[in-house]
Structures are given as structure tokens and as C-alpha cells.
């Protein structure tokens, strides 16, 4: 079974490849809006789904077992995810192929490149050192299933307030510690905030925007 840190890295590699494909299209005078859309739409949707899947499945567990100041790592990551979502939203608000669209794509790429490097160096590295192989693999299964259960990025495309997110997860972890019978189900409930909107009422700031 796949380790969640490997699956996240596979998505990161795919993101880099898709931005490189956009470079080629930009340099090809024959490319049109349809060609750009064919690369951009799956890329933009997967960026949003990837961030949401990490927020639901990976970061709650990093907060639980991480040892390199996981709260700071998570605050940074959620802020970065918001920047990536902002870039996607800006590009999608502009006519495809125009200057404003390319500006949005470039902002998305810059935010994502910076974030992936930090996530790989910090959160993922911390998690590989501290999480048991069985946990990394069970989370890998959940990560894969997430994309089957969420085929449409529109359902997850919303910003989160980083501090509210960390507080909500840490409070749920505390409850689990006080009452072990809550077990992993409680953490799943934390992960389900996107569906139950509990975080939205507590601090989400913006509304909406494949595998
Ligand atoms: Fe990531
Ligand atoms: Fe991330």
C-alpha cells in the first residue's frame, strides 16, 4: 500500500509537469484557449482537491504526532493553501489565455512551488520520521479514496482560517486523549469539517472556486 507522503509527493511532481506543459503551450503560437483549458482545468482542480485532502487527512495527523513544531508547520501550510486557492480563483476569473489569466496562473505557480518545497522539507519530513509505517499507509488509503469521493473541486474550494483550523484540530485531539474511546473516529470527525461546515462557521473566509 502507498504511504501518504509518497502519494503527496507524486501529486507534487505531477503539478510541476503540468506547469511545464503550460510553458510549452505559451511558447507555441498555434496553441489556443482550448489547449490551455485542457491542461489548466485538471491542474487547477487537482490543486484545490490536493490541498483539501491534506487538510482533511494529513495535517490533523501531523498535529498529533509531529515533533518539529507541527502547529507552526500547519499554520504556514494552511496560509499557503489559501494563497494557491487565491491564484486559481484569480485565473478562473479572467479570460483564458489573456494577460490577467497568465498572471493568475503565475501567482498560483509561485505560491505552489514555494509551498511544495516547504511542505516536503518540513511537514512530510517530520511525518516520515515520527509516524509509524502502518499509519502512513492507512492514511495513504484514505488519501486515495478522498479523490474518488470528491470528483468536483467546487465542493472543497474554500479558504480556511489557519489559526481556527489548528485550534479546532488540537481541541479534538485533546478530547480524544481525555476519552480514548473516541479513537480515530473523532479525528475523522475533525477531518470532516469541510462537509459539516463546523470550521466555516468558526472562521472560514471565502466561498467557492481531477484527477
Ligand atoms: Fe502538498
Ligand atoms: Fe500542502
For 109-135, write each residue's pLDDT tens digit. 999 999 999 999 999 999 999 999 999
pLDDT reported for residue 210: 35
Tell how far the Cα of 51 is from the centroid of ligand 1, in angstroms.
6
Question: 42 lies in a domain?
Answer: yes
Tell how far the Cα of 28 is from the centroid of ligand 2, in angstroms.
31
pLDDT in tens, 17-48: 999 999 999 999 889 999 999 999 999 999 99
Tell how far the Cα of 98 is from the centroid of ligand 1, in angstroms.
28
pTM of this prediction?
0.86
Report the pLDDT averaged over residues 66-83: 97
Q: In the chain, how many domains are there?
A: 1
Question: Per-residue confidence at 176, pLDDT binned at 50, 70, 90?
Answer: confident
Question: 210 lies in a domain?
Answer: no
Rounded CA separation 129/152 (Å): 33
Question: 87 lies in a domain?
Answer: yes
Tell how far the Cα of 119 is from the centroid of ligand 2, in angstroms.
6
Residue span of the structural domain in which 58 resides: 4-203
pLDDT reported for residue 182: 52
Question: 173 lies in a domain?
Answer: yes
Amino acid at each position: 500500500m502507498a504511504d501518504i507522503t509518497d502519494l503527496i509527493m507524486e501529486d507534487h511532481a505531477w503539478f510541476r509537469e503540468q506547469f511545464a506543459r503550460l510553458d510549452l503551450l505559451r511558447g507555441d503560437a498555434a496553441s489556443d484557449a482550448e489547449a490551455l483549458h485542457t491542461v489548466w482545468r485538471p491542474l487547477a482542480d487537482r490543486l484545490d482537491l490536493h490541498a483539501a485532502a491534506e487538510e482533511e487527512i494529513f495535517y490533523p495527523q501531523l498535529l498529533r504526532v509531529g515533533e518539529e513544531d507541527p502547529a507552526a508547520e500547519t499554520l504556514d501550510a494552511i496560509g499557503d493553501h489559501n494563497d494557491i486557492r487565491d491564484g486559481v480563483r484569480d485565473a478562473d476569473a479572467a479570460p483564458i489565455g489573456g494577460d490577467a489569466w497568465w498572471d493568475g496562473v503565475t501567482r498560483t505557480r509561485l505560491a505552489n512551488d514555494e509551498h511544495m518545497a516547504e511542505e516536503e522539507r518540513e511537514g512530510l519530513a517530520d511525518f516520515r520520521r515520527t509516524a509509524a509505517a502502518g499509519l502512513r499507509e492507512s492514511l495513504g488509503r484514505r488519501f486515495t479514496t478522498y479523490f474518488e469521493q470528491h470528483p468536483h473541486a467546487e465542493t472543497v474550494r474554500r479558504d480556511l482560517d489557519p489559526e481556527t483550523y489548528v485550534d479546532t484540530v488540537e481541541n479534538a485531539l485533546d478530547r480524544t486523549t481525555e476519552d480514548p474511546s473516541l479513537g480515530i473516529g473523532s479525528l475523522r470527525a475533525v477531518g470532516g469539517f469541510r462537509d459539516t461546515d463546523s470550521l466555516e462557521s468558526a472562521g472560514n473566509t471565502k466561498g467557492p472556486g481531477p484527477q
